[in-house]
Amino acid sequence: MPSFDDILAVYRLQRVELQAWIEHRWVRPRRGASGFEFDAEDEARIALIRELREEFLVSEDALEVVLPLLDQLYATRHVLRRMDAALRSLPPGLREEVRSRLRGSEGAG
């Protein structure tokens, strides 16, 4: 797992910047014996924050709103993928009935 200093080097961040992201709980690394340890999810989050800040010029205040909304969107996508997998596991007739009801062609109720 990358260390704090590894992350600073790889993502070209300032120490105070990454510390602030951790304090805001935008990034949640584990505390290891030798300091913070970042997993793949942390790194993806750091890359996202960096992109939002540098390429889209999103302010810190806006990030307080944007990041939770993105988290909700990703969670919803995960649920929809699981629903799709569950639908695919159904027998074809039942699967088509469920899809038809989801499209609303059966009417309300």
pLDDT tens digits for range 9-53:
999 999 999 999 999 999 999 998 889 999 999 999 999 999 999
Q: Do the Cβ atoms of 18 and 27 come closer than 8 Å?
A: yes
- Report the number of distinct structural domains present in the chain: 2
Mean pLDDT of 4-11: 95
Please indicate, yes or no, whether residues 71 and 108 belong to a single structural domain of this protein. Answer: yes
In this predicted structure, what is the pLDDT of residue 64?
95
Residue 106, pLDDT above cutoff 60: no
Domain that holds residue 107: 59-109
| C-alpha–C-alpha distance, residues 13 and 7, integer Å | 8
Q: Which amino acid is at 8?
A: L
Please indicate, yes or no, whether residues 4 and 53 belong to a single structural domain of this protein. Answer: yes
Please indicate, yes or no, whether residues 38 and 13 belong to a single structural domain of this protein. Answer: yes
End position of a domain, from candidates 38, 58, 78 = 58
